[in-house]
């Protein structure tokens, strides 16, 4: 099976559970991760995670060299808008790959190829519609779709010359997905990830409705996620029966997480609950022991998020942010 290359430019310090992210990458040997970063701390990277050290200034210069107009890339977060162009910007690194993708590092992957097969890559030009993880078929035409006009004007140029973030990498608000649709390209919108709703202290999943083009948030239920030797699953009880569902990945949405594990690099199984990574208390989950498994810790995530968002709005109002 040919490999997928995930491209991750990241500047600043990786999060405290980055070793768990790397662990989940290691269990997907038919994918590579190409990380461009200035975080030079020593991590135990598996062979399929290739680190390229560079400064943000060097990344700015690399991106600028691909465009014949001055781009607005003043801060690392603006790179989100450039994600749809990674197949073009980093094309020299993508030779030999059947597909490329972009992803965030606040993810824990399950078995990627159980959800993205070689046939899927042949059937679709783009798999996924979100900035936190999307895969593109790797060919010259597909990697330049972002350059196509939208509604008669150059949308990418409009985005790349504005220092504000436009969410060009996701959803359908004059984004890369809108351009792919306008060009008659095939997009797989079916979701297999566990996307955690941001505005809740608990783990509630949120999913995109491709028909109504809006998000739906599930009702709160007692559930736990378990990563076990490369497989990511969610467990819950329904009508007296133990339910289990596997996922492509879980997205923490930049949620602060505690790590209560020793030697993250060596762990083979762990539990993921609000807001902690920790060891699973039982050898095997069952109907009888499920109620005794801890499913959450008290946390102030929602209130901290509201406070942070309020402060950002105030700064924008007085001109200290954009």
- Best CA proximity match to 104, nearest among 255, 290, 301, 313: 255
Measured between alpha carbons, how far apart are the two ends of the chain, in Å? 44
Give the pLDDT of residue 114: 97
Of 28-42, 193-207, 229-243, 300-314, the least confident: 300-314
Q: Are 89 and 62 in contact (CB under 8 A)?
A: yes
Cis bond before residue 272 (omega within 30° of 0) = no
pLDDT band, residue 312 (cuts 50/70/90): low
Query: What is the spatial distance between Cα 184 and Cα 203, in angstroms, rounded to a whole number?
Result: 36
Distance (Å, whole) CA 50 – CA 48: 6
Task: Give residue-wise pLDDT tens across range 48-101.
Answer: 999 999 999 999 999 999 999 999 999 999 999 999 999 999 999 999 999 999
Query: pLDDT grade, residue 2 (50/70/90)?
Result: confident
Q: What is the pLDDT of residue 1?
A: 56
- 129: buried, middle or exposed (CB in 10 Å: 19+, 13-18, 0-12)? buried
8 Å CB contact between 88 and 66:
yes
DSSP-derived 3-state class of residue 37: strand
8-state DSSP, 150: B
Q: In the chain, what are the domains?
A: 4-188 (3.90.550), 200-304 (no CATH)
Q: Read off the pLDDT of residues 97-146 as tens digits, 9 standing for 90 and up.
A: 999 999 999 999 999 999 999 999 999 999 999 999 999 999 999 999 99
Span 244-266, mean pLDDT?
95
Q: What is the DSSP string of 157-171?
A: HHHHT-SS---TTST
pLDDT at residue 303 in the model: 75
The per-residue pLDDT for 275 is 95
Sign of CA dihedral 141, 143, 149, 150: positive
Give the number of other CB atoms < 10 A from CB of residue 42: 5
Average pLDDT over residues 29-48: 97
DSSP output for 176-190: HHHHHHHTT--EE--
Task: Give the mean model confidence (pLDDT) for residues 180-207.
Answer: 96
pTM over 0.75: yes
Whole-number average pLDDT of the chain: 95
Transcribe 268-295 into DSSP letters: SEEEEETTEEE--SSSS--TTTGGGS--
8 Å CB contact between 14 and 105: yes
Q: What is the pLDDT of residue 211?
A: 87
What would the mean pLDDT of 228-244 be, rounded to a whole number? 98
Confidence band, pLDDT 50/70/90 cuts, at residue 300 = confident
Categorize the per-residue pLDDT at 210 as very low, low, confident or very high, splitting at 50, 70 and 90. confident
């Amino acid at each position: 099976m040919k490999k997928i290359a995930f491209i991750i430019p990241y500047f600043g310090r990786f999060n405290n559970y980055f070793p768990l992210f790397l662990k989940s990458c290691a269990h997907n040997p038919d994918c590579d991760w190409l990380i461009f970063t200035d975080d030079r701390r020593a991590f135990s990277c598996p062979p399929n995670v290739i680190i390229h050290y560079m400064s943000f200034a060097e990344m700015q210069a690399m991106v600028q060299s691909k465009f014949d107009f001055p781009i607005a890339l003043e801060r690392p977060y603006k790179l989100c808008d450039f994600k749809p162009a990674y197949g073009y910007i980093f094309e020299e690194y993508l030779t030999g790959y059947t597909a490329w993708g972009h992803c965030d590092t606040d993810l824990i992957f399950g078995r990627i190829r159980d959800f993205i097969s070689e046939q899927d890559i042949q059937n679709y030009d783009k798999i996924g519609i979100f900035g936190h993880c999307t895969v593109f078929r790797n060919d010259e035409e597909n990697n330049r779709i972002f350059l196509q006009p939208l509604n008669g004007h150059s949308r990418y140029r409009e985005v790349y010359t504005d220092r504000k973030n436009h969410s060009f990498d996701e959803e359908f608000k004059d984004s890369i997905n809108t351009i792919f649709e306008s060009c008659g390209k095939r997009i797989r919108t079916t979701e297999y990830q566990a996307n955690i709703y941001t505005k809740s202290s608990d783990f509630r999943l949120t999913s995109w409705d491709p028909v109504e083009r809006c998000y739906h948030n599930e009702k709160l239920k007692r559930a736990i996620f378990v990563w076990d030797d490369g497989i990511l699953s969610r467990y819950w009880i329904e009508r007296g029966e133990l339910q289990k569902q596997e996922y492509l990945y879980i997205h923490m949405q930049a949620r602060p997480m505690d790590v209560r594990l020793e030697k993250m690099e060596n762990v083979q199984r762990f539990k993921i609950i609000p807001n902690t990574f920790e060891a699973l208390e039982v050898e095997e989950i069952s109907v009888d022991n499920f109620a005794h498994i801890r499913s959450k810790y008290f946390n102030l995530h929602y209130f901290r998020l509201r406070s942070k968002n309020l402060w950002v709005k105030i700064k924008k109002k007085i001109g200290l942010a954009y």
